[in-house]
Amino acid sequence: MADKSTIEWTDATWNPVTGCDKISPGCKHCYAEKFAERWRGIPGHPYEQGFDLRLWPERVKLPLQWKTPRMIFVNSMSDLFHKDVPDHFIREVFETMCLADHHIFQILTKRSGRMMEWTEKYVATGKLPEHIWMGVSVETQGYAWRIRELQKVPAKVRFLSVEPLLGPVHLRAKDLRGIRWVIVGGESGPKARPMDPQWPRAIRAQCQKYNVDFFFKQWGAYNEAGERVGKKEAGRILDGKVWDAMPAMV
């Protein structure tokens, strides 16, 4: 958790929950798990329990202390809609976000079904505040069904994180209906799987066609030529430019 982040599409991270478990191919080489497990067993360390799920009630109000407006990625080290996070705790997190309306909150999940069901049950007004953005991860075409559940969530800004992109993902008009933003990126790390350059290009073309903001986060461990050069050298230039469109601040 930090009030500054190196993640290209956010300003800060906030982790009222840490730890998770794997549910789809994009989780295979989880950066958060790798980081957390380095500290397992070290008494007093925030990740003494490794990547086991842990609730942090003392962190729930933290964004209220940050007076400068920023974009905040919620649970970069977990998933707010994990099955073992109680409904009441999720509600407390949302209460803080509603109060801290000088920030933009970005919630990203692979558990789109629970996100959809939770918002249907607990968002009494039928609409989330405009500064709370809701997104799902879609790493292959086989997980595009998450988009259908996201589209039922009453958020003004809905977004897709197509990262790590592990295969072609075909976003048709119906897939992008109600979607404001698409983030695409390859996988990094020692066991990274390469990304075919045609995959992000195809997604970019669909975003352009349907007027959806497109953000190319990174090539990952492999560059555009398919050479393993590492994340830093591979960079984030796609066809000669940086693609960093985002929804207008609401």
Domain extents in the chain: 12-242
Report the 10 Å Cβ neighbour count for 79.
25
Name the percent of the chain lying above pLDDT 90.
95
- pLDDT value at position 231? 96
- pLDDT value at position 5? 83
CA–CA dist 146, 24 (Å, integer): 12
Closest CA relative to residue 135, chosen from 114, 116, 107, 163: 107
- pLDDT value at position 250? 54
pLDDT digits (tens, 9 = 90+) for 5-62: 889 999 999 999 999 999 999 999 999 999 999 999 999 999 999 999 999 999 999 9
- What is the widest separation between alpha-carbon atoms in the chain? 53
pLDDT digits (tens, 9 = 90+) for 115-174: 999 999 999 888 999 999 999 999 999 999 999 999 999 999 999 999 999 999 999 999
- pLDDT value at position 116? 97
CA distances from 169 to 65, 139, 164, 192 (A): 40, 8, 11, 18
Residue with tokens 């990625």: 73
- pLDDT value at position 6? 85
- pLDDT value at position 87? 97
Mean pLDDT of the chain: 96
Q: Hey, which residues does 183 pair with through a beta bridge?
A: 161, 215
